[in-house]
Amino acid sequence: MLEQLELLEKEALVALEALEDSDALDAWYKQVLGKKGTLTLMLRSVGELPREERPAFGRASNELKTKLEAAFEARAKSLRQADMVRELERGALDVTLPGRPIGPGHLHITTQTLRQIYAIFAEMGFQVYEAPEVDTDELNFGLLNMPPHHPARDMWDTFWISDEVLLRTHTSPGQIRAMREFCPEPIRVILPGKCYRYEHITARSEHQFYQVEGLAVGHGITMTDLIGTLTEFARRFYGPDRRIRIRGSYFPFTEPSIEVDMDCILCDGEGCRVCKGSGWLEIAGAGMVHPVVLQNGGYDPDEWSGFAFGPGVERPAMLKYRIDDIRLFYGNDLRFLRQF
Ligand SMILES: [Zn+2]
């Protein structure tokens, strides 16, 4: 029996050394030291031996068990080490490889559109005037001829921060800020920036969007100046042959108020799906600055007059590039953004 133990020891140690990875360790353990392993079975068979051989065999097999267990632990440790080394080598960085180039980014389509609009109006003498996105009820509504409880306030679903403070629903509070800053000088500014409305998000409306509006205040400014300015804008932005028309409208801060339409750029006025068969596309709301607003800005409406207009930012881009879903602008999908 003792020879069998010796044989088992030799075989088991050779097999252990031959294992190639830690996955094979378990199988070895099961085979030798497990419940039905060779050594375990031999230990159990001690009762079959003649009585005088039992102590020597018992001692020898227990010693072998301890020895094999120690060998197993040592082997397991070295295999784990080898696994780790292999893993590291597989994922190793080759520092001599050339880096992957990072392509230059480009401006977002909204920024590009805004800059085109800035450039067009800059050539007509308008400067950019930036105003805060968080503003007061007074500037966003009250001073724009919408006192508390004025029904026109319902046109703008508002994110309120407190009873007095809100996220601006339009860029128009900048009109009051600009007038108060420049008064009593004449003004030509465009007011760009983000606006917020508590709105359901659809293909046509987002709760966050850009607006850009223009404001001119001076002596003897008339509706003709407004129409001329917007015609010039339409021709420079959408193409030299564009025609515009105006319709009566209502905004609390302009009087009279108009909607400005341009002949459809897709069908040249013939009528198509985009213009809903009318041949015209709405491109801006506009009007002559309301006397109350002029007054709130510090200008005497008997001496001064002015016009204001808001062509939007995403909408011109949507028309120009035939984008049919405003949600694409801020979805951060590079497949969309890289096209512009
Ligand atoms: Zn059309």
Distance CA 149, CA 119 (A): 39
pLDDT at 190 over 90: yes
Ligand 1: centre distance to CA 324 (Å): 14
When pLDDT is averaged across residues 170-181 and rounded to a whole number, the result is 95
Per-residue pLDDT, 258: 96
How many C-beta atoms lie closer than 10 Å to residue 316's C-beta?
Answer: 22
Ligand 1: centre distance to CA 340 (Å): 23
Ligand 1: centre distance to CA 276 (Å): 7
pLDDT at 147 over 90: no
Placement of tokens 């450039």 in the chain = 119
Ligand 1: centre distance to CA 256 (Å): 28
User: 260 and 246 in contact (C-beta within 8 Å)?
Assistant: yes
Ligand 1: centre distance to CA 227 (Å): 22
Mean per-residue pLDDT over the chain, rounded: 88
- Ion ligand 1 neighbours (CB, 5 A) are 264, 266-267, 272, 275
Per-residue pLDDT, 250: 93
Name, of 47-61, 87-101, 121-135, the range with top average pLDDT.
Answer: 121-135
Contacts (Cβ under 8 Å, ≥6 apart) of 135 = 165, 166, 167, 168, 173
Ligand 1: centre distance to CA 233 (Å): 19
pLDDT digits (tens, 9 = 90+) for 22-66: 778 888 888 888 888 888 888 888 788 888 888 888 888 888 888
Ligand 1: centre distance to CA 327 (Å): 22
Ligand 1: centre distance to CA 24 (Å): 73
Ligand 1: centre distance to CA 263 (Å): 8
Ligand 1: centre distance to CA 321 (Å): 14
Ligand 1: centre distance to CA 284 (Å): 17
Q: How confident is the model at residue 298 (pLDDT cuts 50, 70, 90)?
A: very high
When pLDDT is averaged across residues 71-75 and rounded to a whole number, the result is 89
Six-digit token string for 172: 């128009």
Per-residue pLDDT, 207: 84
Per-residue pLDDT, 244: 92
Distance CA 173, CA 142 (A): 10
Ligand 1: centre distance to CA 319 (Å): 11
Per-residue pLDDT, 79: 85
Q: Give kind and range of the element (H or E) at residue 58.
A: helix 54-90
Ligand 1: centre distance to CA 203 (Å): 19
pLDDT digits (tens, 9 = 90+) for 229-281: 999 999 999 989 899 999 999 999 999 999 999 998 888 888 887 788 899 98
Ligand 1: centre distance to CA 216 (Å): 31
How many C-beta atoms lie closer than 10 Å to residue 262's C-beta?
Answer: 27
Ligand 1: centre distance to CA 238 (Å): 14
